[in-house]
Amino acid sequence: AMEWVILMTFMKNILLFHVVAGKVRAETAVTLDSAKTLQGTSFSIKLDGDVLKVNGASVVTADVEASNGIIHIIDSVILPKS
């Protein structure tokens, strides 16, 4: 049972590390160096040529409208520093 609690906490932290408060469109994101996540730490944001990078992951589809905000699809899982 304790292992399950630890796993769920770990997964929650990873998920919340992928989320920021508010609606941040790509046109705004490209002007930022970093963003604070709902997990509590920040990830880096960098424009590499014409590719927006979030902690090294490439944004492959930007500005996807969702019922609860805007999604930017990245090409890999990003992890908070441990």
- 28 φ, ψ to 5°? -85, -40
- What is the per-residue pLDDT for 81? 84
Tens digits of residue pLDDT in 14-57: 999 999 999 999 999 999 999 999 999 999 999 999 999 999 99
- H or E stretch including 60? strand 57-66
How far apart, in Å, are the Cα atoms of 43 and each of 5, 6, 20? 25, 23, 10
pTM, to two decimals: 0.86
